[in-house]
Structure 1
Amino acid sequence: MGKKTRAKTAVPAGENPRRPCPCGSGKRYKACHGAGDDVIVTRPFEGLAAECDLVAMREFLPSATAPLPLREPGDVPVTLATVLPGAAAAVVRPDGSILLGMQVQTRSGDLSADLARALRWARGATPGTALPVVGPGIAGELVRVQDVLDPAAELDVTVHPDFGWWIPPSEDGSEPGPDVTASLERANEVIMPTEPVSAPGVRAAYWVDTGTKAHLRWVRPEPEEALVAALARLQARGELALADDARYAGSFRAHGLLVPVWDLDRELHAKEWSESVAAFATRLEAALAEDAPLTDAERRARDALAGKQVTLR
């Protein structure tokens, strides 16, 4: 996705531009979001219990929705979605309900601010309209998702097999037009089967069938250094695989978090991995709790794992 340059954010009346930026970067406001262009927030959803869910919806879930747990709910429901028709930033349905898109046409360097801006636009928009991109037309005082979301609430994510939820039920029972139907069919054709892996102590772990392989993608909340050290301890002990036929493939960085990936047997359904994933979660928590320095074998394992990491831009 291309990065969109943002216009300079005006300093609100009475505000001190030398104050710490509310994005949490540690910089002064005038040197961060108040400076204008090319602000890059590497961990945009930090501090939220829903951080792992937000990263999954932004990066690899194809068709999923979740009610947005706002600090101050409005008069209409707000639903977060992976992708909306046309990769729009927001849609206000005829009944006034709001859909916010995570996978959008363009974005700035701060996904948290983009999402909050889209919500601000939607709350003042005419029902039946859409916001194609997050642009200067909804600029203003910096507001981020951390300002509007309940920080302790996780997302109740529903993964859908298709994009049928794009089209709300018609009051008169009429069918959508041919253009809408064709668009929906094209979107459904590219969906990779994806399902959550549910188990005690497991969250933001998803089974996905790419057509040639099946994978487990698991968004982890720990700081990267601590997580990699724990994975290295497990690797040195021969405990990094989920099962004999489920080897560790590597990991990717997404919005400040690490997402480990395992290759899975395509013949097994997502539900059949619950026990193995739960067992691994127990091993990982124990490894994360260890504070002894890494042994020589564990350091070698850590270096080998580093060669299997990529960063999503």
Structure 2
Amino acid sequence: MAKKTRNRAAAAGAATGENPRRPCPCGSGKRYKACHGAGDDVIVIRPFAGLAAEPDLVAMREFLPSAVAPLPLREPAPVPVTLATVLPGASAALVRPDGEIMLGMQVQTRSGDLSADLARALRWAQEAEPGSALPVVGPGIGGSDPIRLQDVLDHDAPLDLTLHQDFGWWMASADGAEPAPEVVATLERANAVIMPTEPVVAEGVRAAYWVDTGSKAHLRWVRPEPEERLMAALARLQARGELNLTEDTRYAGAFRAHGLLVPVWDLDREQHHREWTEPAAAFAARLDAVLAGLDDEPLTGDERRARDALAGKQITLR
């Protein structure tokens, strides 16, 4: 650890009364010096760990183009707080004229802990005047006390996501005020490149989204399981010839995003997104059954080889 980082962690611990070698009081399971006592240069691989909303947060951060959700705060806020995929100008936060707070997931810059960035932006917005916007979260934003989403959210509440096919909600305002010309111009540019995206809603299916990229359609499915366990289950399904959703689909691979694995399937672009409801539910049932049996039956040689082959189809996003 660099001297300046060591000194910063020690100072933070002294200020808060926390021993940097003890478990962090936020409940992350990490030592304090690697969590709330860490400097901004520390990369938190899984920033939303411990939250039921983790898969939804990862989807909003990485690939959902236009979506909003009420933020499930642990304590009710005096004004509505809405989480959004992206805000005008890729702002970290803004306070609408009617007082509603909006936090952006897809921001221009961030520290090594996205959870802390969002919590700082929220704290800033709660003190800001209506009509204010926060371009980026930087040093000193939100005060000096360490805070993360895990400190303010209901850990057991998922996000109630609403997907939009454009960014018209940027214009929404309770007082009917006309949007600024730069917002209108930004809206037009954003709408021109948005990719149609729809949730795949079925029993046992969560955080799965149909996406039309223009040349292909995909199913992107954020999974909450630890990567090693999920890869073992996918390998078992691959060895059985049961990894695809239907005979006409293809498992394209997976990407890592904020500590979670996101499997991706290539789909028939001509089919409506609702046609994937039953195949996704059937796959979820197969996957759950395999996950439940992993502890009792280790992978065979064929399944291990399948796992190694699948590992070659993974990339990591930050």
Task: Say which of 47, 50, 59 aligns to 2:50.
Answer: 47
The 8 Å contact of residues 69 and 153 in structure 1, kept in 2 or not, is answered as yes
Matched, 1:148 2:152: yes
Deviation of 1:180 after TM superposition, in Å, equals: 2.5
Output the CA distance in 2 between the equivalents of 1:249 and 1:20: 39
SS across alignment from 1:136: coil
- In structure 2, do the counterparts of structure 1 residues 185 and 31 end up closer, same or farther at CA, with 3 Å as the change threshold? closer
* Gapped regions of structure 1 (runs ≥ 5): none
**Aligned pair 1:234/2:242, yes or no?**
no
Kept in 1, the 8 Å contact 2:82–2:102? The answer is: yes
**CA distance in structure 2 between the partners assigned to 1:108 and 1:228 by the alignment:** 29
Task: Check 1:215–1:13 CA distance in 2 against 1; reply closer, same or farther (3 A cut).
Answer: closer
Does the CA contact (< 8 Å) of 2:225 and 2:260 recur in 1?
Answer: yes
Is residue 26–residue 151 contact of structure 2 (8 Å, CA) maintained in 1? no
Q: What are the superposed Cα offsets for residues 92-137 of structure 1, whole Å, 9 maximum, x if unpaired?
A: 0111110000000110111111111011000001110011111113
Partner of 1:157: 161
- Aligned pair 1:301/2:295, yes or no? no
Q: 1:110 to 1:211 in 2, by over 3 A?
A: same
- RMSD after superposition: 1.9
1:290 deviates by 1.2
Q: Return the TM-score normalized by structure 1.
A: 0.93
- Partner residue of 1:68? 71
Q: CA deviation at 1:183?
A: 1.3
Distance 1:111 1:311 in 2: 16
CA distance in 2, matches of 1:285, 1:143: 35
**Cα distance in 1, alignment partners of residues 115 and 48 from structure 2:** 6
Distance 1:186 1:57 in 2: 20
Q: Which residue of 1 aligns with 2:250?
A: 247
Q: Deviations over 1:61-98 (max 9, x none)?
A: 00000000100011101000000011111000111110
Q: What is the number of equivalent residue pairs in this alignment?
A: 307
Q: What code does the residue aligned with 2:266 have?
A: D
Aligned mates of 2:210, 2:88 — CA distance in 1 = 25
- Matched residue, 2:222: 219
1:1-313 equivalences under 5 Å are: 8=8, 10-11=12-13, 12-22=15-25, 28-30=31-33, 33-138=36-141, 139-169=143-173, 171=175, 175-291=178-294, 292-313=297-318
Q: After superposition, what is the alpha-carbon deviation per residue over 1:168-221, rounded to whole angstroms, capped at 9, x for unaligned?
A: 23635x643443221110011111000000101100000000011000000000
Unaligned 5+ segments in structure 2 are none
TM-score of the two chains, using structure 2 as the length reference: 0.91
Q: What's the CA shift string for 1:5-49, capped at 9, x where partnerless?
A: 9x9473435443443334666554346543424111101101111
- Does structure 2 conserve the Cα–Cα contact (< 8 Å) formed by 1:8 and 1:37? no
User: 1:31 and 1:148, CA in 2 relative to 1: closer, same or farther beyond 3 A?
Assistant: closer
Give the CA deviation at 1:254.
0.4
